[in-house]
Amino acid sequence: MPRTFSLPRLLLLVTLFCVICALAVAFPYPVIGLALIAAFVLPVAAVLWLGIRRLSQRPRLLACNVVVGGFIGFILFSPYEWQESILSEILATGLPAAIGAVLFGGLTLLDERIRRRS
């Protein structure tokens, strides 16, 4: 039997999409800023998740934690002074996101290992 969307899932996705669109209309500049940050964080988190997802029994939870860790790493570890070259700007935004994603993903894998032994 093919997998299909249930009505509650469909309504939840449509509602979520409408809320995101309403926020984008009400607060355009913060949404643009968040989209720019997400453009740096999400590819790094996706690559790291693809690398370590085979080690996890719960890859969806791992994906959520890697993305959250990428955003937290970007917020906490980003340098305050930006450099002049494009390469250094990409490294200055991608490296902190990678550090946070690896830390949160590693903690998730460690938690799975500890719970498996108990």
Exposure of 26 by Cβ count < 10 A (0-12 exposed, 13-18 middle, 19+ buried)? exposed
The pLDDT assigned to 33 comes to 85
Cβ 70 vs Cβ 37: under 8 Å: no
CB burial class (10 A; 0-12, 13-18, 19+) of residue 108? buried
Q: What's the predicted TM-score (pTM) here?
A: 0.76
Number of domains in the chain: 1
1 domain-assigned: no
Length of the chain: 118
pLDDT of residue 50: 92
- Share of residues in the chain with pLDDT > 90 (%): 44
The answer to the question of residue 88 being in a domain is yes
Mean pLDDT for each 10-residue chunk of the chain (118 residues)? 76 94 92 86 90 90 93 83 65 83 92 88
Which residue range is the domain that position 53 belongs to?
A: 7-113
